[in-house]
Amino acid sequence: MEQPAVDLTREQRATMARPRYEYSGLARTFFRSMDLLAGARTTLFKVKLIEALAPVPYRAWESHEHHVLTRHADAEAGAIMEWARDAAQNEYWHLRVVAEKIREDAEQRPFYQAEPLPTLMVESYEGMNWMAARLGLRRAFLLNAEFEDHAEHTYAELVDDHPEWEGQPVTSPVVRGYGEFASWADVFRRIGLDERDHRNAGFRFAGRPEMVVGYEGMPSY
């Protein structure tokens, strides 16, 4: 997967310095529920839970816009479908990479990673997105932008909490399928920046282009 050339350390620091988006009540309630389930501390298993949830809205939007296009030509539907497909694939890579780091570190699985809790969380998030979509598709995009802003900051904090990752080389062929990185710290910085890209796209589709956070090397829209 080709990645744009960016200063990952600089962008992680920029994320840490930038306040989180002022989340809606619905988003805040969901984030609090994740903290109650997984704990307030940022861990690999907590970001794995985030990545299990992340593709949910993208899968739904790709399917919805596909049905729109089967009925009539719609340029926006085509753009949304393409974005949703690419974003979902990107989130699956994140999940694989996080799972690979957990495997390498031989991390013990916490209770909330055992069924039926992960399935219940996914179903709850599906319900949240359904509710937002009932209020309008742009509101659903905005909710997803909030989720991605939360994910971006979570990854920045995760890297900041693990300075030992700076010197850990990446040898896994799984991770090399995602990109070439000098250290595990850079792997997670790149994932965090992907989440910013998803955040930016969500705000644009929600009609809030002024909320886009640009950086040198960012993809064009």
Between CA 147 and CA 54 the distance in angstroms is 8
| Range scoring the smallest mean pLDDT among 79-88, 109-118, 174-183, 190-199 | 109-118
What value does the mean pLDDT of the chain take? 88
pLDDT band at 66 (very low <50, low <70, confident <90, very high): very low
pLDDT over 70, % of the chain: 90
Closest C-alpha among 3, 1, 31 to residue 154: 31
Question: Do you find a cis peptide bond into 116, omega within 30 degrees of 0?
Answer: yes
The CATH number assigned to the domain with range 11-209 reads 1.20.1260.140
The pLDDT of 155-175, averaged and rounded, is 96
Residue 121 has pLDDT above 70, yes or no: yes
Between CA 12 and CA 33 the distance in angstroms is 26
Q: Domain ranges in the chain?
A: 11-209
* pLDDT tens readout for residues 12-29: 999 999 999 999 998 999
pLDDT band at 75 (very low <50, low <70, confident <90, very high): low
**Alpha helices of 2-136 — where are they, by DSSP H?**
8-17, 25-38, 44-53, 55-71, 75-105, 117-134
Higher pLDDT, 69 or 78: 78
Q: What is the pLDDT, as a whole number, of residue 179?
A: 95
- Supply the DSSP symbol for 136: -
pTM: 0.89
- Supply the DSSP symbol for 207: T
